Structure 1
Amino acid sequence: MLGYLLGLAGLFGVLGFLWLTLGIRRISAVSIGEPIGERTKEALLLIDLQTVFWDHGPYSDAAKQSAKTAVLHEVDAAKAQGHHVVALRQEWSIPSTKAVAQLAMKGQAIKGSAGTELATPFAGLADHVLVKRVQDAFETGELDALLAKLDVGKLRLAGLDLNYCVKNTALAARNRGYEVSVVSNATLSSSTRNQAEQQLAAHGVVLH
């Protein structure tokens, strides 16, 4: 009986490990999507500028102040040119990704938890606010649908983190045929960004 129970425990342990591994892979996966064809308009995407990350993330006050100034400048410029501003908020809601967030991310941004709203400096700036479930903001299909409705074919990205959500959203956009630029001084990164910048440039993303 004891051996049987130990065997079951081992099996559940393996299954649990595989489940978490799939969650990790899902978090960082980059979607392909349908080619967008010819479109005429531009949008600014603000990624993960939420209270939980902005107020409690690993970014220095100096880096945040610099990025805030750049983000607000980008918003003003976009609106002056008649471009749409779209904010993406992270909420971990898929069971496996929620488990990863609980174990490895201090439970930050789990759906229903405190701090998932846009941080005070950026509240009310966006024309549209969507929720993303993984690093790639295109994963749910809602961003695809919105940008198609708005006839957007060119994207500028700002926000955080350049090494993760900004990068993977930019790569997903390139997979669909968008013209994509990342505003470097309007993004934050928790570690060196050289590898991410090289990967973005290799996929045709322009870094300003």
Structure 2
Amino acid sequence: MSDTALLVIDMQVGVVEGELRAARLDAVLDNLNAAIAKARQRGYPVIFIQHEDEELERGSASWQLHAKLADQEGDARIGKRYGDSFCETELAGLLADKGIDKLWIGGCATDFCVDSTLRNAVSRGYQVTVVSDAHTTLSAFELSGEQVIDHFNAAWHATGATPKPLRVIPAAEL
């Protein structure tokens, strides 16, 4: 049994290809697929997290995973209603059942759902690896999506006060 899982957060059509297109989306999809392939080669579970709300109704076209993602029939899928993928979901139970204590994390949105999930995972004692080139966000608050991605990668990389090391590495180094 593996001790590591890959979380792919909110890479849904309505999130990344909506009114605005997510930053570096094509490269992020390629790098997520590279991470997915590496996870599968090592026998790690791949878990897709999908946000659900009025604009992303379960089963709708906008709720679907991006067509370029290499998802498979046996991959776990978890619906969520909040930014943090652990909040009122079965994620913690699923990880515990599988004996997972290490997470690779990528997806959307860097500054909200990815960051919230990452911080909760660290607080819960998981060793977290952020796939630095496999997360994305939209431009907002006077910042480009690229600036937000770069800022969060730098901030996470500089974070040292964690129970287990927080790693920030590109997909090629997984």
TM-score bracket relative to the smaller structure: 0.7 to 0.9
**Paired residues for 1:94-113 under 5 Å:** 108-110=55-57
Question: What letter is aligned with 2:68?
Answer: P
* SS at 2:62 equivalent: coil
RMSD between superposed Cα atoms in Å: 2.4
Q: Contact conserved, 1:170 with 1:200, CA < 8 A, in 2?
A: no
Q: Provide structure 1 residue ranges, at least 5 long, that are not aligned to the other structure.
A: 1-38, 93-97, 99-107
Deviation of the 1:113 alpha carbon: 5.2
Question: What letter is aligned with 2:84?
Answer: D
Q: Contact conserved, 1:171 with 1:200, CA < 8 A, in 2?
A: no
Q: Which residue of 2 aligns with 1:184?
A: 132
Deviation of the 1:112 alpha carbon: 6.7
Whether 1:196 aligns to 2:152 is yes
- Distance in 2 (CA, whole Å) between partners of 1:166 and 1:64 is 15
Question: What letter is aligned with 2:69?
Answer: F
Q: Contact conserved, 1:167 with 1:200, CA < 8 A, in 2?
A: no
Question: What letter is aligned with 1:144?
Answer: A
Deviation of the 1:60 alpha carbon: 5.6
**Paired residues for 1:21-40 under 5 Å:** none
Question: Normalising by structure 2, what TM-score?
Answer: 0.79
Question: What letter is aligned with 1:175?
Answer: S
- Distance in 2 (CA, whole Å) between partners of 1:207 and 1:115 is 30
Q: Provide structure 2 residue ranges, at least 5 long, that are not aligned to the other structure.
A: 139-144, 170-174
Q: Contact conserved, 1:43 with 1:152, CA < 8 A, in 2?
A: yes
- Distance in 1 (CA, whole Å) between partners of 2:13 and 2:22 is 15
Q: Contact conserved, 2:3 with 2:101, CA < 8 A, in 1?
A: yes
- Cα shift readout 1:17-63 (whole Å, capped 9, x = no counterpart): xxxxxxxxxxxxxxxxxxxxxx96000000001111132153368x1
Structure having the larger proportion of residues in helix: 1
Question: What letter is aligned with 1:159?
Answer: G
- Cα shift readout 1:92-140 (whole Å, capped 9, x = no counterpart): 2xxxxx6xxxxxxxxx325575411212112633610000111100001
Q: Which residue of 2 aligns with 1:45?
A: 7
Q: Contact conserved, 2:78 with 2:91, CA < 8 A, in 1?
A: yes
Question: Normalising by structure 1, what TM-score?
Answer: 0.67
